[in-house]
């Protein structure tokens, strides 16, 4: 069950994208489809949500989104470059106007000094370009994943509200 605040945020995003005429695609690793789930939990979302890619493994990132395997090997799955490539791949393989991607270390294990638990890289692509950012979220696995969903929805909302796309 998704928190009501997330559902409210998703519903507001759908209204904004609907007004702009945008369709959304998601490319998710550490959230395992929760961003798409939050959007599709809202009745009538099919006019805005085009598709979601759950690319948890490196092979899925490569196979489904055409993220270069050499890039993943060089930069690591949890990296700015891979987040950007995931968003670009989702946009290229969809009818969406905006694609958001997430790749991170949700924990409790898997972290390192350079990539601590809670680190999430985000990518956001439109037909005009791609941006990326990262956040280190506190808390346990559930908290990191929930915060990641909220942040991803907020990124799309900001882009959709801009007069000029990214």
**pLDDT tens digits, residue range 23-66?**
999 999 999 999 999 999 999 999 999 999 999 999 999 999 99
Residue in 56, 96, 99 with CA at minimum distance from that of residue 78: 56
Statement: residue 4 has pLDDT above 70: yes
Q: Which pLDDT value is given to residue 2?
A: 81
**Mean pLDDT, rounded, of the chain:** 96
| pTM of this structure | 0.96
pLDDT band at 164 (very low <50, low <70, confident <90, very high): very low
Residue 67 CA: distances (Å) to CA of 35, 54, 102: 20, 13, 13
Closest to 103 measured CA to CA, from 89, 118, 116, 121: 121
Q: Domain spanning 4-161 has what CATH number? A: 3.90.950.20
- Terminal C-alpha separation, the chain: 32
């Amino acid at each position: 069950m998704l928190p009501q605040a997330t559902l409210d945020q998703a519903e507001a995003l759908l209204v904004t994208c609907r007004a702009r005429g945008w369709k959304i695609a998601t490319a998710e690793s550490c959230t395992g489809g929760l961003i798409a789930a939050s959007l599709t939990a809202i009745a009538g979302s099919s006019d805005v949500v085009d598709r979601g890619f759950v690319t948890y493994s490196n092979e899925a990132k490569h196979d489904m989104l055409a993220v270069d395997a050499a890039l993943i090997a060089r930069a690591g799955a949890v990296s700015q470059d891979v987040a950007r490539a995931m968003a670009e791949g989702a946009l290229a393989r969809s009818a969406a106007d905006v694609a958001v991607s997430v790749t991170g270390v949700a924990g409790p294990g898997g972290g390192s000094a350079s990539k601590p638990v809670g680190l999430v890289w985000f990518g956001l692509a439109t037909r005009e370009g791609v941006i990326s950012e990262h956040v280190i979220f506190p808390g346990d696995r559930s908290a990191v994943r929930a915060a990641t969903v909220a942040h991803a929805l907020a990124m799309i909302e900001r882009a959709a509200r801009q007069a000029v796309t990214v």
